[in-house]
Amino acid sequence: MASVTAANGIRTILWGRNAEQMAAMQQSHRNERYLPNLDLPEGLEFTADLDYALSEANQLEIVTPSGAFRETVRASRDFLQRHPELCWATKGLEYGTNQFLHDVACEETGQTLDMAVISGPSFAGEVVRQLPTAVTVASNNEDYARRVASYLHNHSWFRAYTSDDMTGVQLGGAVKNVLAIAAGIADGLGFGMNTRAGLITRGLNTIVQLGVELGAHTETFMGLAGMGDLILTCSDDQSRNRRFGLALARGEGVEAAQQSIGQAVEGIKSAKAAWELAQAHEVDMPIVEQVYAIIYEDKDPKQAVIDLLKREQKDEVE
């Protein structure tokens, strides 16, 4: 996201915790650890000093893993009191509380904020290479949604659409990671494209059911932050969650598989959150249930597939 705004001529400061890594990025204008051999925009600045970054900014966008979201909002509280606007591209719910991130932001700041969540099919490497990409910006304020979208929109390669469904956009961005793990497992076990298509379609159906229970709009899940992101994440090995599923299918344990990825695998925590939300709202989510059992109950992936196929026959739409 920082590369998008910087490429659009907006002064952008990218903050990260690792001072050595940020210094190296400032010198090379590359992120060799995660995006090797890709040049970042020349105007992009890098720092490990959050106070400096916030002192120079008038808009904050958080793109940390979901587990660091609350901490980052808390560290930025003074800035948000002066500038009561916050956008983020973090995908996931808060682990342990299962809260949506807009609720976390309000809880931490104790104030009403204009908020926007950015989501959609957007692998980082392709964004940095400026390959055509489209995302959704969902906000509780229509004017703010349009303004955040304008920071990102580029007529040559990047489109940003707006929405008012923050719940649906966030839920789609969280649960698609769980289904990507399932897709990786299925592919790793040698099942074919029929299996993957069925998994994606039936998984999307259950996301819609849970979303409607939580107050989201059905049509959101047919868009970029729902179907679009789900298809992308389930189908390409750039997805960390899909690669994690592939590792589980090879027989690697959860910890070993996560270490082999080397980055946050949001679907691990999202599996627990989605399963608990489904239980609380009495929504049947069998694929999420099996992924949860594989990760947290040490269930054999092959047995999980067998149990899915043994489910009773039912109508496609209920």
pLDDT 10s digits, 131-171: 999 999 999 999 999 999 999 999 999 999 999 999 999 99
Same domain as 293, residue 225 = yes
- Do both 88 and 221 map to the same domain? no
Within-domain flag for 143 = no
Residues 302 and 175 in one domain: yes
The radius of gyration of the chain's CA atoms, rounded to the nearest angstrom, is: 19
User: CATH number, domain at 57?
Assistant: 3.40.50.720
Domain assignment of residue 138, yes or no: no
User: Do 12 and 73 fall within a single domain?
Assistant: yes
pLDDT at 302 over 90: yes
Residue 317 pLDDT more than 90?
no
The reply to whether 223 and 110 lie within a common domain is no
pLDDT for position 223: 98
Task: Indicate if the pLDDT at residue 188 is higher than 90.
Answer: yes
60 in a domain, yes or no?
yes
| 174 and 290 co-located in one domain | yes
Could you tell me if residue 133 is inside a domain?
A: no
The yes-or-no verdict on residue 69 having pLDDT over 90 is yes
Residue that terminates a domain, selected from 117, 134, 158? 117
> Is residue 180 domain-shared with residue 47, that is, in the same domain?
no
Residue type at position 245: G
Q: Average pLDDT of 171-185?
A: 97
CA distance 96 to 269: 9
My answer on whether 110 and 188 are in the same domain is no
**Quick one: what percent of the chain has pLDDT higher than 90?**
94
Q: Are 92 and 174 within one domain?
A: no
Given a cut of 90, is residue 57 above it in pLDDT?
yes
β-strands 158-163, 133-139: how paired? parallel
Full residue range of the structural domain in which residue 94 is found: 2-117
Identify the band that residue 315 occupies on the pLDDT scale cut at 50, 70 and 90.
confident
User: Domain for residue 136, yes or no?
Assistant: no
In a domain, 244, yes or no: yes
Q: Read off φ and ψ for residue 245, nearest 5 degrees.
A: -60, -40
Angle at the Cα of 119 from the Cα atoms of 205 and 181, rounded to 5 degrees = 55
Is 8 inside a domain boundary? yes
What is the separation of C-alpha 57 from the centre of its chain, rounded to a whole number of angstroms? 24
Look up the pTM and report it: 0.95
Residues 16 and 81 placed together within one structural domain of the fold: yes
Report how many domains make up the chain: 2
Largest CA distance in the chain: 59
Residues with catalytic function = 176
Q: Tell me, yes or no, whether 180 lies in a domain.
A: yes
Look at residues 83, 101, 117 and tell me which one is the last residue of a structural domain. Answer: 117
Where does residue 191 rank: exposed (0-12), middle (13-18), buried (19+ CB within 10 A)?
A: middle
Residues 172, 281 share a domain: yes
Residue 70 near residue 41 (C-beta atoms within 8 A): no
Q: Could you tell me how many helices (H) and strands (E) the chain has, helices first?
A: 16, 9
Q: Are residues 175 and 298 in the same domain?
A: yes
**pLDDT 10s digits, 234-278:** 999 999 999 999 999 999 999 999 999 988 899 999 999 999 999
313 DSSP 8-state letter: P
Question: Which CATH number does the domain housing residue 264 bear?
Answer: 1.10.1040.10
Nearest to 16 by CA among 55, 46, 56: 46
204/221 Cα distance (integer angstroms): 8
Torsion region of 300: left, alpha or beta (phi above 0 gives left; psi -120 to 50 gives alpha): beta
Question: In the prediction, which pLDDT does 250 show?
Answer: 95
